[in-house]
């Protein structure tokens, strides 16, 4: 199709989008471990929730496993994913003398530490999160069974049966919708007025920033695409936020090949963002696919700047910075 025959489309890029500092750190951990120790290195669960990233790391020599019994007892390291793990996992690795490297996002680790402090102070702990998410499994696994109760919705708050209503604390999964979490926190504070919250918001800066950009862009566009994986909590929340902010045609796609073009018929404007574990190359791939079918112009809406950096685990600080992982 000649360029003149293509329908016009204005793409509005959300900024910030894509990789956050915790994801960059986690990917660098795998790449640097391969550089320092040689292939293979083992990774328990997906290092981050993105198939493209995982496949790229597999090609470099990473082997992804579900549990530690799949890791042979040799000199090759095992890496724990950015989502964090229950305390039983490092303990198991230590009992087998495995070389363990922890790529848990420092903001997830912050939530773990909060949970431990509340527990030491005798508080019952309520965790706001999604039951099936590995971050929630890891956070609940920091403490003995029964020390943490999970709530997923406002309705769950009404069903809580704490031992001591006057000695409660809440923590949250880092990748939730700010608005949904706000409603649950409000319900907790109304039912338990003395409940203790985090000193600083648990939902991470990257989740907050990406959601705020989507809230600005969504009312301006006919459709919006979130580049991200279906098991990525922050990506799913971005799509929900876009829909709630006024863009009914909001879709999650992993790659350009997944785009259902019938969903975009007649659009004049398209919003585009990416979850915190989705690399920019996939955003560019989606833009390229639209450029083949539309005469595109590109604008960017930026709602904040990010300059966050997390230091590497000590085992890898002696290794030079790697080439970009993906």
SS3 string, 175-200, reads CCCHHHHHHHHHHHHHHCCCCECCCC
Kindly state whether residue 308 falls inside one of the protein's structural domains: no
Kindly state whether residue 307 falls inside one of the protein's structural domains: no
**One domain, residues 175 and 214:** no
CA-wise closest residue to 155 among 124, 123, 191:
191
pLDDT computed for residue 276 by the predictor: 96
Kindly state whether residue 55 falls inside one of the protein's structural domains: yes
Rounded alpha-carbon distances, angstroms, from residue 115 to 29, 107, 127, 144: 26, 13, 9, 11
CATH of the domain at 94: 3.40.50.11270
Kindly state whether residue 199 falls inside one of the protein's structural domains: no
pLDDT computed for residue 4 by the predictor: 61
pLDDT tens for each residue of 216-234? 999 999 999 999 999 999 9
**One domain, residues 89 and 129:** no
User: What rounded mean pLDDT belongs to the chain?
Assistant: 94
**One domain, residues 210 and 267:** yes
Percent with pLDDT over 90 in the chain: 91
**One domain, residues 213 and 182:** no
Kindly state whether residue 26 falls inside one of the protein's structural domains: yes
Residue 326 in this model has a pLDDT that exceeds 70? no
Q: Residues within the annotated binding site? A: 20, 49, 83, 105, 133, 174, 204, 232-234, 277
pLDDT computed for residue 181 by the predictor: 92
**One domain, residues 130 and 184:** yes
pLDDT computed for residue 321 by the predictor: 58
pLDDT computed for residue 75 by the predictor: 81
pLDDT computed for residue 314 by the predictor: 93
Of 84, 105, 126, which closes a domain?
105
End-to-end CA distance of the chain: 32
pLDDT computed for residue 74 by the predictor: 74
pLDDT tens for each residue of 162-211? 989 999 999 999 999 888 899 999 999 999 999 999 978 888 999 999 99
**One domain, residues 175 and 92:** no
pLDDT tens for each residue of 266-316? 999 999 999 999 999 999 999 999 999 999 999 999 999 999 999 999 999
Of 191, 223, 254, which closes a domain?
191
As a whole number of angstroms, the distance between CA 237 and CA 258 comes to 19
As a whole number of angstroms, the distance between CA 200 and CA 208 comes to 13
Q: Decide if 210 contacts 17 (C-beta within 8 A).
A: yes
**Domain residues for 223?**
3-19+205-302
Residue 318 in this model has a pLDDT that exceeds 60? yes
Q: What angle do CA 292, 293, 299 make, to 5 degrees?
A: 80
Q: Residues within the annotated binding site for [4Fe-4S] cluster? A: 20, 105, 204
Kindly state whether residue 71 falls inside one of the protein's structural domains: yes
Kindly state whether residue 316 falls inside one of the protein's structural domains: no
Quick one: average pLDDT of 145-172?
95
Quick one: average pLDDT of 131-143?
95
**One domain, residues 83 and 69:** yes
**One domain, residues 220 and 282:** yes
| Torsions phi, psi for 10 (to 5 deg) | -100, 120
Q: Which residues pair with 62 in a beta bridge?
A: 41
Residue 322 in this model has a pLDDT that exceeds 60? no
CATH of the domain at 286: 3.40.1010.20
pLDDT computed for residue 237 by the predictor: 94
Say how far residue 95 (Cα) sits from the centre of its chain: 30
User: Sheet holding 8-15: strands in order across?
Assistant: 250-253, 223-227, 269-274, 8-15, 295-302
**One domain, residues 118 and 171:** yes
**One domain, residues 147 and 220:** no
Of 77, 105, 133, which closes a domain?
105
Q: Residues within the annotated binding site for isopentenyl diphosphate? A: 49, 83, 133, 232-234, 277
Q: Residues within the annotated binding site for dimethylallyl diphosphate? A: 49, 83, 133, 232-234, 277
Residues with active-site annotation:
135
**One domain, residues 10 and 33:** no
Q: Which contacts (CB < 8 Å, 24+ apart) does range 68-73 have?
A: 68/44, 68/92, 68/93, 68/96, 68/98, 70/42, 71/42, 71/44, 71/98, 73/97, 73/98
pLDDT computed for residue 132 by the predictor: 85
Kindly state whether residue 67 falls inside one of the protein's structural domains: yes
Total number of domains in the chain: 3
């Amino acid at each position: 199709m000649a360029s003149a025959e293509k329908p016009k489309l204005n793409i509005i890029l959300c900024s910030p989008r894509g990789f956050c500092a915790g994801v960059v750190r986690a990917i660098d951990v795998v790449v640097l471990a391969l550089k320092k120790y040689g292939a293979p290195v083992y990774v328990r669960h997906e290092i981050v929730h993105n198939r493209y990233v995982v496949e790229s790391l597999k090609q470099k020599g990473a082997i992804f496993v579900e549990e530690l019994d799949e890791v042979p007892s040799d000199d090759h390291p095992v890496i724990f994913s950015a989502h964090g793990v229950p305390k039983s996992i490092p303990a198991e690795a230590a009992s087998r003398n495995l070389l363990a490297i922890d790529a848990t996002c420092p903001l997830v680790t912050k939530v773990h530490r909060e949970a431990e402090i509340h527990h030491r102070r005798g508080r019952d702990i309520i965790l706001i999160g999604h039951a099936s998410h590995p971050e929630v499994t890891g956070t609940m696994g920091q403490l003995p069974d029964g020390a943490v109760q999970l709530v997923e919705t406002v309705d769950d708050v009404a069903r809580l049966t704490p031992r001591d209503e006057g000695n409660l604390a809440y923590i949250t999964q880092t990748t939730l919708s700010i608005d949904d979490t706000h409603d649950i926190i409000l319900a907790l504070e109304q039912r338990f007025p003395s409940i203790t919250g985090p000193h600083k918001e648990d939902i991470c800066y990257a989740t907050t920033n990406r959601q705020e950009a989507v809230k600005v862009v969504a009312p301006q566009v006919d459709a919006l695409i979130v580049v991200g994986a279906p098991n990525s909590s922050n990506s799913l929340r971005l799509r929900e936020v876009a829909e709630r902010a006024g863009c009914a045609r909001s879709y999650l796609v992993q790659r350009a090949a997944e785009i259902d073009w019938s969903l975009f018929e007649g659009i004049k404007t398209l919003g585009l963002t990416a979850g915190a574990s989705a690399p920019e190359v996939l955003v560019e791939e989606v833009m390229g696919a639209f450029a083949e079918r539309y005469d595109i112009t590109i604008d960017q809406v930026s709602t904040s700047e990010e300059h966050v950096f997390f230091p590497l685990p000590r085992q890898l600080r002696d290794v030079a910075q790697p080439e970009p992982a993906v």
